[in-house]
Chains A and B, each alone.
With several copies, the nearest count.
Chain A
């Protein structure tokens, strides 16, 4: 939709999976923030998020936004990466019917979408099942 600067700006933290950890109470924020909503501290340290986690919930998208129509059906879920910290991403490389809550996944870097207008390809993380 013609929005360019946003994605350029968000890339580095997406690539490096960099989050902010509150120096006072330890709560983790991704993307980083200026103030902790738990303890109101404004001091953070940069941490790298772990590359593995578990599925808290998920769904299979069968009616997709314009930029994702070619991918249908695809699974997407909320992945808990740290105790009390979760974020959203696609779950790839598996039969959507086999995904379950509590399943272990690891993060990989993949193409996420291509911008319809500009044709820019955007990259980010996806979750893939850990073979047990």
Chain B
């Protein structure tokens, strides 16, 4: 396998309620921004992460439509789906495409247009990431699934309501410094705890929002990057890991443990030849506050049960020992499900380039992303290193 580098990154100017733009427009914006970032005028192939073009905008076959709208005539363009991990998985397939020697300059993008439908239709679309027949049939929602994980975690480890809130407060603090964030406001423990209850114990301020948005990155062989794209720091993709688990939460032995996250992390670290302690900055899937706590445990950043106390201690803040979700995370930046995994790659790339401004983690050399599908039915991790 060839070594692979990230040479370009791009997003929409801002994520949020992009009523006046269609899915083809928001994707093309992000893709052109990524191409401009590295000054390429063509790409050889393209991968698109999108969870449900069918249910959100009545449009499948996005490979054809989006390559067409990008003016990238006749290239191979592949749409990849793994629920909310679709973006991370598109990046992984693009990585393989370059690593295999099949293509040279490859775009990995993600997009979701979630606000073209009303709230009920969006809730239904998101629920298709869970087991329709044996979970959703009974009236469970995604906040409900994570709320059950939260209650199990609190019962097993004594995790507190306040510790959950700390995740939201930290991520909004980080997001307040990110001009692309959908909700760049700060919040407090009291506001999080006292917001509208969605599924006990999770309030609306424990939940990531519904978002329109897109993101794209450009990959190429490391050798080519060194030769032609060395005007910016070159970011190497040194590890990729992907794992699945049972789609239904109730089929897992330990409801507090995300095995797909654990295994995708271990696989990525093994390929990278790194230990978790080598990671300087991390973007993880905080679709709900409890998710960030469980993920930091499953990745081995903290011992089982120590995710809550750790976020409370400030160790995951910017300036802490291992900053988590410096971008603001899904919570503040927004969560257009197919685009999230690519935006995580962009945040780490910017951190490793040293251009994160107020959010910069000093001396960041190695970063990690973790992108989750459903209630933990799939997970994709990547490890990036500045050359």
* A–B contact via C-beta, under 8 angstroms: yes
Residues of chain A at the chain B interface (Cβ within 8 Å): 1-6, 9-10, 30-31, 33-38, 40, 42, 56-69, 71, 74, 76-78, 84, 86-90, 96, 101, 112-113, 122, 124
- In the bound complex, do residue B118 and residue A2 qualify as a contact, i.e. CB atoms below 8 Å apart? yes
In the complex with contacts A34-B29, A56-B255, A88-B140, A62-B199 CB distance below 8 A: yes
- In the bound complex, do residue B19 and residue A5 qualify as a contact, i.e. CB atoms below 8 Å apart? yes
Question: Which residues from chain B contact A56 at a C-beta distance below 8 Å?
Answer: 152, 250, 255
Q: A1 CA to B116 CA in the complex, in Å?
A: 11
In the complex with contacts A4-B117, A35-B71, A65-B127, A89-B57 CB distance below 8 A: no
In the complex with contacts A76-B138, A76-B140, A37-B73 CB distance below 8 A: yes
- Nearest B-chain residue to A67, judged by Cβ: B139
Q: A33 CA to B67 CA in the complex, in Å?
A: 12
CB distance from B71 to the nearest CB of A (A): 4
- Nearest A-chain residue to B146, judged by Cβ: A59
- In the bound complex, do residue A65 and residue B19 qualify as a contact, i.e. CB atoms below 8 Å apart? no
- In the bound complex, do residue B123 and residue A65 qualify as a contact, i.e. CB atoms below 8 Å apart? yes
Q: Which of B129-137, B181-189, B336-344, B358-366 contacts A (4 or more CB under 8 A)?
A: B129-137
- In the bound complex, do residue B138 and residue A88 qualify as a contact, i.e. CB atoms below 8 Å apart? yes
Q: A90 CA to B133 CA in the complex, in Å?
A: 14
Q: A92 CA to B135 CA in the complex, in Å?
A: 16
- In the bound complex, do residue B137 and residue A101 qualify as a contact, i.e. CB atoms below 8 Å apart? no
Number of B residues near A (Cβ < 8 Å) is 57
- In the bound complex, do residue B139 and residue A6 qualify as a contact, i.e. CB atoms below 8 Å apart? no
Q: A35 CA to B33 CA in the complex, in Å?
A: 12
CB distance from A27 to the nearest CB of B (A): 10
- In the bound complex, do residue B135 and residue A88 qualify as a contact, i.e. CB atoms below 8 Å apart? yes
Q: A5 CA to B132 CA in the complex, in Å?
A: 13
- Nearest B-chain residue to A68, judged by Cβ: B139
Selected A-B contacts with CB under 8 Å, 27 pairs: A1-B121, A2-B121, A3-B58, A3-B116, A3-B121, A5-B19, A5-B117, A6-B22, A9-B21, A35-B32, A37-B72, A37-B73, A57-B148, A57-B151, A57-B155, A58-B151, A59-B202, A61-B139, A65-B141, A66-B121, A74-B139, A76-B138, A78-B148, A88-B134, A89-B138, A112-B137, A112-B138
- In the bound complex, do residue A5 and residue B197 qualify as a contact, i.e. CB atoms below 8 Å apart? no
CB distance from A79 to the nearest CB of B (A): 8
- In the bound complex, do residue A65 and residue B136 qualify as a contact, i.e. CB atoms below 8 Å apart? yes
Q: A63 CA to B122 CA in the complex, in Å?
A: 13
Question: Does chain A have a CB within 8 A of B25?
Answer: yes
- Nearest A-chain residue to B130, judged by Cβ: A88
CB distance from B122 to the nearest CB of A (A): 9
Question: Which residues from chain A contact B117 at a C-beta distance below 8 Å?
Answer: 2-5
Question: Which residues from chain A contact B197 at a C-beta distance below 8 Å?
Answer: 60, 62
**Total A-B Cβ pairs within 8 A:** 149
- In the bound complex, do residue A59 and residue B199 qualify as a contact, i.e. CB atoms below 8 Å apart? yes
Q: A90 CA to B69 CA in the complex, in Å?
A: 24
- In the bound complex, do residue A124 and residue B138 qualify as a contact, i.e. CB atoms below 8 Å apart? yes
Q: A11 CA to B69 CA in the complex, in Å?
A: 20
Q: A78 CA to B250 CA in the complex, in Å?
A: 6
Q: A57 CA to B143 CA in the complex, in Å?
A: 14
- A-contacting residues, B234-268, CB 8 Å: 248-251, 253, 255
Chain B interface mostly: mixed
- In the bound complex, do residue A61 and residue B141 qualify as a contact, i.e. CB atoms below 8 Å apart? yes
Q: A122 CA to B22 CA in the complex, in Å?
A: 18
Q: A37 CA to B41 CA in the complex, in Å?
A: 11
Q: 6 additional contacts, CB 8 Å, given A38-B71, A40-B71?
A: A3-B57, A56-B250, A57-B151, A59-B151, A61-B199, A112-B138
- In the bound complex, do residue A65 and residue B124 qualify as a contact, i.e. CB atoms below 8 Å apart? yes
- In the bound complex, do residue B71 and residue A66 qualify as a contact, i.e. CB atoms below 8 Å apart? no
Question: Does chain A have a CB within 8 A of B68?
Answer: yes
- In the bound complex, do residue A34 and residue B137 qualify as a contact, i.e. CB atoms below 8 Å apart? no
CB distance from B74 to the nearest CB of A (A): 10
- In the bound complex, do residue A77 and residue B127 qualify as a contact, i.e. CB atoms below 8 Å apart? no
Q: A84 CA to B253 CA in the complex, in Å?
A: 7
Interface string of B194-205 (1 = CB under 8 A from A): 001111111000
Question: Which residues from chain A contact B136 at a C-beta distance below 8 Å?
Answer: 65
- Nearest A-chain residue to B147, judged by Cβ: A59
CB distance from A28 to the nearest CB of B (A): 11
Q: A88 CA to B247 CA in the complex, in Å?
A: 13
Of the residues A34, A42, A62, contact of B198 by C-beta under 8 Å: A62
Question: Which residues from chain B contact A77 at a C-beta distance below 8 Å?
Answer: 148
- In the bound complex, do residue A66 and residue B32 qualify as a contact, i.e. CB atoms below 8 Å apart? no
CB distance from A13 to the nearest CB of B (A): 10
- In the bound complex, do residue A1 and residue B137 qualify as a contact, i.e. CB atoms below 8 Å apart? no
Question: Does chain A have a CB within 8 A of B273?
Answer: no
- In the bound complex, do residue B198 and residue A63 qualify as a contact, i.e. CB atoms below 8 Å apart? yes
Question: Does chain A have a CB within 8 A of B70?
Answer: yes
- In the bound complex, do residue A59 and residue B144 qualify as a contact, i.e. CB atoms below 8 Å apart? yes
Question: Which residues from chain A contact B196 at a C-beta distance below 8 Å?
Answer: 62
